[in-house]
């Protein structure tokens, strides 16, 4: 059961954030953002949501959508162009008030305040598309998140699509807050989809803060009805390529160790729960099953299992514990050496200010790092302070390193030198 104290805390604290600087707390980019910049920060998320609309069945009268945790309407405004009606819900009445202001001129967009995680003001089978981004990661209660997911199923129409982002970082013993919210592992997401008769179509960014999942609503008892179904090897793997580069080969490990299978005659009831891809006899981790293209071909992405040998290795597609396709062959090459690199250097708070350091703190993003504890940095020869780091993506070994500037550092231009063990990175010019 939901704890009323948690729901009250969520509303109060998000109301405070809305009154202080709603755009900053929603987009994390910069304090005091103007609306034009604020709405532009949604572009990548909007594109990822739009890609999932290909899964929706045709609807001559137009689709209806719902956003869970709409905030001030950053996503609702651009997404509204795809729907005959779009609704948003939020626990913060201050956020909803801002959304109503920013959605003026869009008569088919409506924002609602919710008293809890039930969506009682919305009828069963009302929406074709339900989505949520950067919301569940701020909820301190697992039960509240689960209730939102149950309610999403209730308000979705049959074959409707749920696309949401969940914090998939490893669970921690520390108390969750309305900022650093609950973490839900990928295995739990799979089990939730199975239990509630969803067809699991995507589970990407596993073990990261920004884990995305796509579910399709199927009839109650649908998955159980598949048991005992006769399966013959009717599908065909027409092509295999690297999931990231499109090349006809995949490294044995590392961030590029994933393949895209291009499959014809794939049964429409297949999903990431009951499909299995074995590579040299070992199961890979499935991450994405795409909608059929114009020629009926489906894309299925699979990460290679650990310790895959190099060379030509057999690959077999299984469904419901039976082979679904004849064997295919995957060319695996030895992985190259890990090369630690700096991906970005920004202000630690105002991320959009780039190398203009306004807050006294710096955020450095590194990839392919085996020993983040070896990180050292100086500004004009002065050691930086209070270095801390955490892993944001174990697959790419991506780390965020945060530190404070030296206290005696004056305003103006300075040179940041960084090293990781014996590797010294190119210096970066910063303006303080």
CATH number at residue 391: 2.60.40
Q: Are residues 130 and 242 in the same domain?
A: no
Of 333, 360, 384, the domain-final residue: 333
Which CATH number fits the domain that encloses residue 32?
A: 3.40.50.150
pLDDT at site 329:
97
Of 224, 250, 269, the domain-final residue: 224
To 5 degrees, how large is the angle CA 55–CA 193–CA 284? Answer: 85
How many whole angstroms separate alpha carbon 55 and alpha carbon 51? 8
Structure tokens at 52: 């999932």
Instruction: Kindly write down the DSSP assignment for every residue of 134-145, as one continuous string.
Output: SSGGG-S-HHHH
Which contiguous run of DSSP H or E holds residue 161? strand 156-166
- Give the pTM: 0.94
Q: Are residues 99 and 200 in the same domain?
A: yes
Q: What is the mean pLDDT of residues 32-46?
A: 94
How many whole angstroms separate alpha carbon 254 and alpha carbon 224? 36
Which band of pLDDT confidence, cut at 50, 70 and 90, is reported for residue 1?
low
Average predicted confidence (pLDDT) for the chain = 95
How many whole angstroms separate alpha carbon 221 and alpha carbon 232? 23
Q: Are residues 402 and 327 in the same domain?
A: no
Of 201, 224, 247, the domain-final residue: 224
Q: Are residues 17 and 105 in the same domain?
A: yes
Q: Quote the longest CA-to-CA distance of the chain.
A: 73
Residues 6 or more apart whose CB falls under 8 angstroms from that of 168 comprise 183, 184, 185, 186, 189, 205, 206, 207, 208, 209, 211
pLDDT at site 174:
75
Q: Are residues 86 and 204 in the same domain?
A: yes
Q: How many domains does the chain have?
A: 3
Q: Is 189 helix (H, G, I), strand (E, B) or coil?
A: helix
102 touches 35 (CB < 8 A): yes
Q: Are residues 231 and 288 in the same domain?
A: yes
pLDDT in tens, 328-342: 999 999 998 989 999
Q: Are residues 322 and 347 in the same domain?
A: no
Which CATH number fits the domain that encloses residue 257?
A: 2.60.40.10
Per DSSP (E only), the strands in 91-147 are 109-113, 127-132
Q: Are residues 187 and 110 in the same domain?
A: yes
pLDDT in tens, 73-99: 999 999 999 999 999 999 999 999 999
Residue 77: phi and psi, rounded to 5, are -60, -55
Domain holding 290, by residue range, is 227-333
The β-bridge partners of 240 are 261
């Amino acid at each position: 059961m939901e704890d009323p104290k948690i729901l009250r805390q969520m509303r109060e604290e998000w109301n405070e954030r809305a009154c202080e600087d709603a755009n900053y707390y929603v987009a994390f980019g910069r304090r005091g953002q103007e609306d034009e910049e604020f709405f532009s920060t949604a572009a990548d998320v909007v594109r990822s949501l739009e890609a999932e609309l290909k899964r929706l069945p045709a609807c001559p009268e137009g689709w209806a959508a719902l956003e869970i945790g709409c905030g001030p309407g950053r996503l609702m405004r651009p997404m509204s162009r795809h729907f005959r009606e779009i609704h948003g819900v939020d626990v913060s009445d201050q956020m909803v008030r801002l959304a109503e202001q920013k959605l003026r001129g869009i008569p088919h967009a409506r924002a609602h305040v919710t008293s809890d995680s039930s969506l009682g003001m919305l009828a069963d089978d009302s929406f074709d598309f339900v989505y949520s981004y950067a919301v569940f990661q701020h909820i301190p209660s697992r039960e509240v998140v689960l209730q939102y997911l149950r309610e999403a199923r209730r308000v979705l129409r049959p074959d409707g699509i749920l696309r949401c982002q969940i914090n998939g970082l490893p669970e921690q013993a520390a108390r969750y807050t309305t900022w650093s919210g609950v973490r839900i592992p990928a295995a739990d997401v799979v089990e939730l989809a199975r239990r509630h008769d969803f067809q699991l179509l995507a589970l990407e960014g596993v073990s990261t803060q920004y884990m995305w999942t796509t579910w399709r609503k199927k009839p109650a008892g649908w998955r159980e009805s598949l048991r005992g179904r006769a399966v013959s090897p009717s599908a065909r793997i027409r092509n295999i390529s690297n999931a990231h580069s499109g090349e006809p080969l995949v490294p044995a490990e590392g961030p590029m160790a994933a393949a895209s299978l291009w499959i014809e005659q794939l049964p429409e009831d297949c999903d990431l729960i009951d499909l299995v891809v074995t590579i040299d006899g070992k199961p890979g981790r499935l991450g994405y099953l795409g909608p059929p293209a114009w020629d009926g071909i489906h894309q299925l992405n699979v990460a290679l299992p650990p310790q895959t040998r190099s060379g030509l290795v057999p690959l077999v597609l299984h469904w419901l514990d039976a082979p679904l396709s004849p064997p295919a062959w995957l060319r695996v090459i030895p992985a190259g050496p890990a090369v630690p690199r700096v991906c970005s250097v920004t202000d630690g708070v105002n991320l959009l200010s780039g190398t203009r350091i306004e807050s006294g703190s710096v955020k450095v993003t590194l990839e392919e790092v085996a020993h983040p504890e070896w990180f050292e940095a100086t500004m004009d020869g002065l050691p930086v302070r209070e270095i801390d780091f955490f892993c944001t993506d174990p697959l790419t070994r991506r780390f965020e390193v945060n530190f404070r500037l030296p206290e005696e550092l004056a305003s103006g231009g300075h040179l940041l030198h960084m090293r990781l063990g014996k590797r010294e990175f190119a210096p970066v010019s910063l303006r303080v």
